[in-house]
Amino acid sequence: MKKLLLASTILALSAGYTMAAEIKVGIILGFTGPIESMTPDMGASAEMAFKEASDSGLLLGGSTITAIRGDSTCIDAAAATAVAEKQITSDNVVAIMGADCSGVTGAIANNVAVPNGVVMVSPSATSPGLSSLKDKGLFFRTAPSDARQGEVMADILKSRGIKEVAVTYTNNDYGKGLADSFAKSFAAAGGKVSISAAHEDGKADYSAEVGALSASGSKYLAVFGYADQGGKGIIQASLDSGAFEHFVLGDGMISDTLIAAIGKDLNGTIGTLPGGTGKTADMFKDMLAKAGLKKGGAFTGESYDAGALIVLAMQAAGSSDRAAIQSKMMMVANAPGEKIYPGELAKALKILKGGGDIDYVGATNVEFNKIGEVYGSYKELEVKNGKFETIKVH
């Protein structure tokens, strides 16, 4: 019997088939911390892609993906690095979907992922500084850089006739990067930032910060922070004191929990969030609805795409080896090849198994530049009747 099993294994391998296996992929997101209201649906969206591929029976000879979740905390670089080290050295994950916030993402990449040759695909780390990582081609992101978000936000304010704003930002890589990008673009568009001041997360009282911002005389306050932490506190303190009534929000603030916490006073608030409308967005919304997840949740499309790209790179390489995954990331994401939309991973896996090429479009119209980043589009949002509504796509 042993000889028969050995002979079958040799025959399968010589025929070019991969034996079915359990493949572990890490998911590192801030399941606690300043964006904890966003991350459950982000993680579930990536897991949808893993399940879709596993259920198809077409992935690497019938292999299945097991997701290993880890908490980045979003803000504690040491804790996030420890989580990644465990996943890579003990759990033996072959790639990481994540991380989320820019500071912890850079820490994981520099300290653990790159030294160990592990691909990372972040769905939400947007700091422009990540573009210059010495990543050896291992870091990718499906959310666009804040260099782009700053430009879009400046254009939106100009189109609305808003010529002056005060800016507050969370004191980390994400907040500082977006504040700098916006200030540069807003000045180029003829606008003025009257004051730009950092705030710390986790404080119980933001009245001093709001007082300094209000002294600038601006009517509009741009908040580049987190919906579950300091950004929310800044807005609440502004409303309580009457310092500001009009707000502009970066993507880290776009959460229904913010509206639930603040209430009707947020009506009229402007915001930006990566994403778009049209065929791919509608297809993905249907998938979210069937899975019982919130339609239009922040970074859910980017998370699904990050997970899908990891899976498709494995299939293209014919291996779940870490280096093999890296070698095919660009190929499956970009033209030429047959376009692949949300929910079509089985189709893509079949094409790749047969030696064909694919161009993964996904939920967010993925196309990588030479360093593995997307140009991306942004939704212009406005709070109307207690909901974020899409006004336009830029």
**pLDDT over threshold 60, residue 11:** no
The pair phi, psi for residue 342, each rounded to 5°, is: -55, 140
Could you tell me the fold of the domain covering 22-143+279-360? Rossmann fold (3.40.50)
Give the domain ranges of the chain: 22-143+279-360, 147-267
**Predicted pLDDT of residue 278:** 87
For 235, 268, 272, 387, the CA distances from 247, given in Å and listed in that order, are 8, 8, 12, 15
Specify the pTM: 0.91
Q: Is 289 exposed, middle or buried (0-12, 13-18, 19+ CB in 10 A)?
A: exposed
Taking only the tens place, the pLDDT of each residue in 318-352 is 999 999 999 999 999 999 999 999 999 999 999 99
For the chain, percent of residues with pLDDT exceeding 70: 95
Q: What CATH number labels 147-267?
A: 3.40.50.2300
Which residues are CB-neighbours of 274 under 8 A, at least 6 positions away? 126, 143, 144, 149, 251, 299, 302, 364, 376, 377, 378, 379
Taking only the tens place, the pLDDT of each residue in 339-392 is 999 999 999 999 999 999 999 999 999 999 999 999 989 999 999 999 999 999
Please give the average per-residue pLDDT across 238-263, as a whole number: 97
Question: Lowest-pLDDT range, 46-55, 113-122, 288-297, 362-371?
Answer: 288-297
Taking only the tens place, the pLDDT of each residue in 140-168 is 999 999 999 999 999 999 999 999 999 99
**Predicted pLDDT of residue 20:** 86
Strands 164-170 and 387-393: unpaired
**Edge-first strand listing for the sheet containing 22-29:** 64-71, 22-29, 95-98, 119-122, 139-141
Q: Which of 9, 3, 15, 22 is nearest to 314 (CA)?
A: 22
Taking only the tens place, the pLDDT of each residue in 62-81 is 999 999 999 999 999 999 99
**Predicted pLDDT of residue 10:** 39
- How far apart CA 342 and CA 280 sit, in angstroms, is 7
- Band (pLDDT 50/70/90 cuts) for residue 8 is very low
Please give the average per-residue pLDDT across 221-227, as a whole number: 97
Q: Is 225 exposed, middle or buried (0-12, 13-18, 19+ CB in 10 A)?
A: buried
**pLDDT over threshold 70, residue 12:** no
